[in-house]
């Protein structure tokens, strides 16, 4: 009962003492950073899964796609995916030379890849090509994949080297 009364009267451990004790604990801050990075990683995985789910739900319902001039799984879709992935990886790597913040790196990589994909579709529209939302979808999926791979390598390979 005495401890309870002491805590009510302000004689217990205050916020300053708690922070000092927490700072003395070995690994306290590392644990906090690890939990936050785990939450960010989970959020990234959830975002990728959400995009894939939207992609599957947005598929047109047809009896046969053989007559389709722009198939979802065509060779050009693989090119869009791989080009966007590589551009996102390069953008992430270039941003790592400028900033230590992961959010800046990820934003730079994904925006660079998405901008390149969108510019290609705009060029197709005005130069007599065949602009396609399916191509743009694969650009977005490639940008997300390249950014996620870059973040994973940065987080789990280079953080351990320091």
Q: Is the model more confident about 157 or about 6?
A: 157
Confidence of residue 30 (pLDDT cuts 50, 70, 90): very low
The helix (run of H) or strand (run of E) holding residue 4 is helix 2-8
What is the distance in angstroms between the CA of the first residue and the CA of the last residue of the chain?
49
User: What is the pLDDT at residue 128?
Assistant: 82
**Does the pTM exceed 0.75?**
no
Confidence of residue 147 (pLDDT cuts 50, 70, 90): very high
| Percentage of the residues of the chain whose pLDDT score is greater than 70 | 56
Mean pLDDT of the region 81-98: 94
Distances, alpha carbon 152 to alpha carbons 42, 44, 107, in Å: 12, 10, 14
- Model pLDDT for residues 122-146, shown as the tens digit of each residue: 998 888 888 889 999 999 999 999 9
């Amino acid at each position: 009962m005495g401890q309870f009364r002491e805590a009510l009267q302000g004689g217990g451990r205050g916020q300053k003492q708690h922070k000092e004790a927490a700072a003395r604990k070995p690994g306290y801050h590392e644990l906090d950073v690890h939990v936050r990075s785990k939450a960010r990683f989970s959020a990234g995985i959830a975002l990728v899964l959400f995009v894939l789910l939207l992609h599957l739900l947005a598929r047109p319902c047809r009896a046969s796609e053989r007559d389709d001039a722009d198939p979802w799984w065509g060779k050009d879709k693989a090119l869009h995916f791989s080009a966007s992935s590589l551009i996102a990886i390069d953008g992430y790597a270039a941003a790592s030379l400028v900033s230590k913040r992961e959010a800046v790196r990820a934003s730079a990589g994904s925006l660079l890849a998405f901008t390149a994909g969108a510019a290609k579709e705009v060029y197709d529209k005005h130069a007599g090509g065949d602009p396609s939302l399916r191509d743009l979808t694969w650009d977005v999926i490639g940008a997300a994949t390249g950014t996620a791979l870059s973040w994973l390598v940065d987080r789990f390979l280079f953080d351990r080297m320091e």
